[in-house]
Structure 1
Amino acid sequence: MNGEAHEHAAASGLAVARSLLQAVLTQMANLPLAILLLVSLAFVPLGVGLALLPPVLFALRGLANQQRRWAAEWSGVEIVVPYRPRPENASGFGIVKWLLRDPATWRDMLWTVVNSVTGLVLAGLPAALVVYGLEGVLVAPWMPNVHTFGWGPFWPLSDYGLTGSVGSALLGSLMLLVGWQLGPSIMRAYAIVNRSMLGPTRGRLEERVRELTETRSETVDASAAELRRIERDLHDGAQARIVAVSMTIGLAEQLVKDDPEAAARLMAEARQASGTALTELRDLVRGIHPPVLAERGLDGGLRALALTLPMPVDVAVDVPGRAAPPVESAAYFAVAEMLANAAKHAEAARAWVDVRHNGSALVMIVGDDGRGGADPAAGGGMRGIERRLAAFDGTLAVTSPEGGPTVVTMELPCALSSPKT
């Protein structure tokens, strides 16, 4: 019981502190952002608002995303990020159109106005109850000339003779108890209110279901094609060589008494063929899940990959932990495909790889100084990688003007396990 009591006390204390933080934040961030939004929208017809809107809206998204994280971490209320993906190569007026055409942007605007009130009243309620409760218990009893808390809602207590020190102590204790006990529940209610405005709309959820259905279909097709490739490679490669080895050994067995030299030559051929078959099997396994990933992680795997290419590749990896094996495998093959394209098609003299974890996703940037012109819409390996990443809710963006350079940015949402040691 003592352990549970300590846990509840800690949760209540955190709820009160977070309540105070939210109340202050709404007045220092939400209210100024709401005013800036109104001013920016008002000046859009004059052109000035077009320059003001993007930074203000990005700041609003940052604040809304912080609220989403706090709702999940503090109250266990998950709020899905509803924003539409940014169009490739969007800049200038294109960014403004993308932002204003996203329904989530307008819901954020509504939220920042509403939250200026709900954040102060609802989120700040636990802190207000505790602060006023402490005042009633510790301050008001020593100020007999001051009526209980000095404000209206507690005047009816005078009808029962509960004025002055006694009334202040009783009311203070009650408010302190309510604020302390109900703090976590009030903060959860505030998170639920935020979810109603910051979460995806029904239309967005339906759109997301369609996206997931398409992604699932593409993933199934890609998996089927991969299985057919493995079957073909086994049948035409290693299996054929193993059959040939078996036949060669059979011939050697027949010749071992009559022509030992010929039998020895056949056994040497069989040994060479078995070594070739083993190499092909190893290559096939690497194509499914490279052993180097399990042994050395993504960092070591990419550095080993870079050494096999016919051009110098600069590799920088800053991933403080391990992603799930399927995610690491997808990341490895995505980078491998981009580097293969740089070597085979782009006629690049140098390439570079930068892989980092931004807290929620693996961000992989692969660039080369080749002739450019890469386009995922043309199909091929790049389109296959795009489908592979989509199975993990990943994205791929390509910047590749004619004449180069080519820069491919890929993101894979994932969490990391224990840090590297």
Structure 2
Amino acid sequence: MTSTMTATAVTTPDPDTRGAPTLVRRTLLDSAYAVSAFALALPAFVLATVLVSAGLALSVLVYGVLVLALAVAVARGFARLERYRLRTMLGRGAPTPAYLCPREGDGLLKRTITPLRDPQSWLDVVWSLVGLVTGTLAFSVTVVWWAAIGTGATYWFWQQFLPDGEDDGGLAELIGLGSGAFAESLLNAAIGLVALLTLPAAVRAVTWLHSSLAWGLLSSRAELQQEVRRVETGRTAARRAEADSLRRLERDIHDGPQQRMVRLGMDLGRARRQLEADPARAAVTIEEALAQVGETVEELRSLSRGIAPPLLVDRGLRVALEDLAARSAVPVDADLDVPDGLPPHVETATYFVVSEALTNVAKHSGAASARLQVRDAGDALLVRVEDDGVGGAHEAKGHGLSGLAQRLLAVDGTLGLESPAGGPTVLSALVPTGGAVGR
């Protein structure tokens, strides 16, 4: 079925750079989140229940669809507010999933029905209904703990205003700790102290319960959508990189070996005509043809290295990188810490990153020397190429670095470039290994 709507972009908040909050600040934020959870969950529950019930009751009429659409819109509003609370009060990443949106030009009915076809909209409605349960629990536990702390800290003062009958016995007397105001004050102070010591854990537990349910219903689809988008982007990048490689190979073959083969055919034809009339000149022509054959073979070998480098396939990434450094037109100081057991696509991507980087250094940098560093970075391979050239490199379309970025994107890698005017230029790439590294 073809979708008739677009999707809003997934928004992810910037990471919090303020560092972890202190225990006191964390407890206060958790308490504020837990107390306000009930204040938001109650109206969300009431509105969602009333609107959904009314919409279902009127579903036989067009008005039922309008009421359900209103219920979904209200639930979306409370969901957005909850995500904002997760990000600001708890510092928890809570991306907004992509909602289905009507296309421009859709009629009123289609624009009304579109939110009802969105799974995330109904998850927002579910959150409005079930959030009251965990919100009430979080509110109750937090209020009880804070009340116990306040009572224990102030009971000694306001107990004197309590009426004291002849048969009245306090809690301390009931549990055998003695009678009188002093015993009651000590017992309440002890309860308040225990509540104070357990407050961070108590409010953290109920806050975690409420926020986890909120995240699962309101933001978990966003991560799945981001993963799907990442895979689609990587697949598109792989196709584009493959197409670019094929076009470049076709151009190189046309401009190189193909032209040499045409010239070789012409030379051999001329030598055949000269063979009887002027054998000496025919011999010279044949020697030139043989030189053309050698150059063509060498150029074909060079092109084959751009497709599937034999050295990489036969002897591994380390040897292939050492060969690249040795053949570079600019002297290269290579520092290679290449782990064994890398997947073939990782080795291929790393090889071409280094090859393209060193080619750019030789062609454009004007550098006198370069440094190549490849090392294991845990679940990725870090490649770093630095030169002492003039700088000014960029990833503009039509340059080699643009294709390099596409090749890295196809394997979920990233490309970094620092190249101020005047140099030096530092190109870095991170190629994920997927944890499949064995030494």
Q: TM-score, with normalisation over the residues of structure 2?
A: 0.49
Alpha-carbon distance between aligned partners in 2 of 1:41 and 1:348, rounded to the nearest angstrom: 57
Matches within 5 A, 1:10-409: 36=22, 39=25, 102-103=93-94, 201-377=220-396, 380-409=399-428
Root-mean-square deviation (CA, aligned residues, Å) is 3.7
SS state at 2:366 partner = coil
| Distance in 1, Cα, partners of 2:27 & 2:390 | 43
Q: Is the 8 A contact 1:297 1:322 kept in 2?
A: no
Q: Classify 1:342/1:42 alpha carbon distance in 2 versus 1 (closer, same or farther; 3 Å).
A: farther
SS at structure 1 position matched to 2:311: helix
| 1:373 to 1:249, Cα distance in 2 relative to 1, 3 A | closer
For the 8 Å contact 2:260–2:296, the answer to whether it is kept is yes
Aligned counterpart, 2:159: none
Q: Tell me, what secondary structure is at the counterpart of 2:389?
A: coil
- Give CA deviations for 1:153-182 in whole Å, capped at 9, x if unaligned: xxxxxxxxxxxxxxxxxxxxxxxxxxxxxx
Quote how far apart the aligned CAs of 1:202 are: 0.8
Q: Are 2:415 and 2:430, in contact at CA under 8 Å, matched by a contact in 1?
A: yes
Q: Distance in 2 between matches of 1:394 and 1:275?
A: 38
Identity across the alignment (%): 42
1:16-60 deviations in whole A, cap 9, x for unaligned? xxxxxxxxxxxxxxxxx99857636969xxxxxxxxxxxxxxxxx
Q: In the alignment, is the contact (CA less than 8 A) between 1:301 and 1:332 conserved in 2?
A: yes
Letter matched to residue 217 of structure 1? T
One-letter code aligned to 2:343: A
SS at match of 1:282: helix
Counterpart residue identity of residue 39, structure 1: R
User: Structure 1 264/34 Cα, relative in aligned 2: closer, same or farther at 3 Å?
Assistant: closer
For the residues of structure 2 that align with 1:219 and 1:229, how far apart are their CA atoms?
15
Q: Secondary structure at the match of 1:407?
A: strand
**Structure 1 outlier segments of 4+, above 6 Å:** none
Taking the aligned partners of 1:328 and 1:369, their CA distance within structure 2 comes to: 27
Deviation at 1:419? 5.3
Matches of 2:267 and 2:288 in 1, distance apart?
Answer: 8
> SS of the counterpart of 2:342?
coil
Alpha-carbon distance, 1:259 to partner: 2.5
Separation in structure 2 between the aligned mates of residue 389 and residue 263 of structure 1, nearest angstrom: 52
Unaligned runs of 5+ in 1: 1-32, 44-95, 105-113, 115-192
For residue 355 of structure 1, report the CA deviation from its aligned partner.
1.1
CA contact (8 A) 1:352 1:366 kept: yes
Question: How far, CA to CA, are the matches of 2:437 and 2:235 in structure 1?
Answer: 30
Instruction: Say which SS state the counterpart of residue 256 (structure 1) adopts.
Output: helix
Local SS of the residue matching 1:257: helix
Partners of 1:225 and 1:38 in 2: CA distance = 57
The whole-number CA distance in structure 1 between the counterparts of 2:388 and 2:269 is 54
Q: Take 1:234 and 1:100, find their aligned partners in 2: how far apart are those partners?
A: 56
1:206-259 Cα shifts (integer Å, max 9, x gaps): 123223323322322221222122122222321222233233223323332333
Q: Number of matched residues?
A: 247
SS in 1 for 2:276: coil
Alignment partner, residue 77 of structure 1: none
Instruction: Normalising by structure 1, report the TM-score.
Output: 0.51
Cα contact 1:321–1:417 (8 A) shared by 2: no
Aligned-partner Cα distance in 2 for 1:335–1:219: 18
- 5+ long unaligned stretches in structure 2: 1-18, 30-86, 96-133, 135-211
* 1:396 CA displacement: 1.2
Change (3 A) 1:370 1:267: closer
Q: Post-superposition shift, 1:334?
A: 0.8
Partner of 2:316, secondary structure, is helix
Bigger-Rg structure (1/2): 2
For 1:343, the aligned partner's letter is A
